[in-house]
């Protein structure tokens, strides 16, 4: 079994803070710019998967070149998320666990299992369209 990942967010925050300071990039690191940069990186990750079939996307990490690209884009995304959370003083651990609890409440197993409906649509009966 794979070992769980241990990510020390505060250590990464400190590193990114120092990295930006050494380059005088704090002037560019405001929430608006970081969100825009984050969206750009998500776009770059999307581009890797854009024309793959679902089957190809499931095996993307078997191609060493693509695997490296996926890892780099995910790391870029994570860096921007962590840097943004630092600037906005968001405790990512707390925020994540709160959101996971909320998801469990919004998507109870009995209603959500096996379908992709949004939580606002769970429990609604799917009816066939009426014929005229």
Q: Does residue 1 sit within a domain?
A: no
Tell me, yes or no, whether 122 lies in a domain: no
Taking alpha carbons only, the member of 74, 91, 100, 76 closest to residue 16 is 76
CA-to-CA distance for 122 and 114, rounded, in angstroms? 11
Domain presence at residue 130: no
Residue at token pair 């770059």: 44
96 in a structural domain: no
pLDDT per residue rounded down to tens, the chain (132 residues): 788 888 999 999 999 999 999 999 999 999 999 999 999 999 999 999 999 999 999 999 999 999 999 999 999 999 999 999 999 999 999 999 999 999 999 999 999 999 899 988 987 755 445 554
Task: Give the CATH number of the domain where residue 80 resides.
Answer: 1.10.287.1080
Inside any domain, residue 105: no
Residue 46 lies in a domain: yes
State how many domains the chain has. 1
Report pTM: 0.85
d(CA 53, CA 55) in angstroms, rounded, equals 5
In a domain, residue 112? The reply is no
Among residues 27, 34, 36, 33, the alpha carbon closest in space to that of 83 is found at: 34
Structural domain of 22: 9-90
């Amino acid at each position: 079994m794979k070992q769980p990942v241990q990510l020390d967010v505060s250590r990464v925050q400190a590193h990114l803070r120092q990295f930006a300071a050494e380059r005088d990039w704090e002037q560019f690191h405001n929430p608006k710019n970081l969100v825009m940069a984050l969206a750009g990186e998500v776009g770059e990750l999307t581009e890797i998967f854009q024309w793959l079939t679902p089957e190809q996307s499931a095996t993307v990490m078997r191609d060493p070149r693509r695997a490296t690209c996926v890892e780099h884009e995910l790391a870029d995304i994570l860096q921007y998320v962590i840097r943004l959370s630092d600037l906005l003083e968001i405790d990512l651990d707390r925020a994540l666990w709160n959101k996971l609890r909320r998801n469990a409440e919004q998507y109870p197993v009995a209603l959500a299992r096996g379908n992709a409906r949004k939580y606002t649509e769970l429990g609604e009966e799917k009816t066939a369209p009426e014929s005229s």
